[in-house]
Amino acid sequence: MNWLVLALVNIVSISIGNLYQRKAMQAEDSDPIGYAIVFQFLLGFAVLLFAMVVGFKLPPIATYPLNFALSAVFYGIGTLCMFQAAKLIEASELTIIAALGSMVTIIASVIVLHENFSLQQALGVLLIFIAIIMVQKKRSLKLDRGAWWGVVGTCLFGLAVVSDVFVIKHFDPVSYAVAMCFMPGILLLCLFPRKIKVFKPIVSSGRNLFIFVFLYAIQVISYYAALGLGANASQLSPITRAQIILTVLLSAIFLRERDRLWLKLGAAILTTAGVLLIT
């Protein structure tokens, strides 16, 4: 199979998955903390099955304890924030805000990994900021509560990527992904042990969550499979950013998120351009 086909699968799966995350959280009684914990464990089992097929290795937690701990915290709290955001704002808005994570990764890489920061990347950061302001209903620099949850969540994801780099350079990325699914879930469960009582109702009535997990797992697996078929990360990462525009379009069609649609599409195009400049 050509890796471009897998890249297309990646784009479509996460774009549709974003819709189901929003649908899962739209109910008034949906519990973002409970959903975040269940999501992490379900995703962990899904990715583990794939890892066992391609060859699972025990993660070197003892060798890189700080990196595993930091990534678990960043992904755990970040996932919680993103589910909180999905409850409060539209999927189209959240996917645009999520591009902020790429900017955070670049800035953190410059500080921690001493990578270069170019004028082109600075322009990309500016475009992403403009896009985020464009989709704000207040049309001001003041973000609403849901947007702030999304900003914090995606920034934590961006920091996690930098922490991941230290381990992935020396270890199988698929097996590492398994650890980074389960460990954040364990962390959240330790922080919110009483949430275990909501697991049963979430699982019994969580059709949208199960579909989101399934599609998210396809996105993860297709990404790594494309790399295995010869794609370069520098090629694959920009291509998969098409999911920003596709999510906005699908949200308008299936979730009826048509308020300020042309503005959202413009913001999605700006965001995609900004991410391309950054990467």
Specify the pTM: 0.90
| 146-181 tens-digit pLDDT | 899 999 999 999 899 888 878 887 888 889 999 999
How many other C-beta atoms can be found within 10 angstroms of the C-beta atom of residue 12? 18
3-class DSSP assignment, residue 63: coil
What pLDDT does 27 receive?
83
Q: In whole angstroms, give the CA distance from residue 189 to residue 187.
A: 5
* 91 pLDDT higher than 60: yes
What pLDDT does 4 receive?
85
Q: What is the mean pLDDT of the chain?
A: 88
Rounded average pLDDT over 67-73: 95
What pLDDT does 161 receive?
83
The helix/strand count (H/E) of the chain reads as 13, 0
Reported as a pLDDT band with limits 50, 70 and 90, residue 143 is low
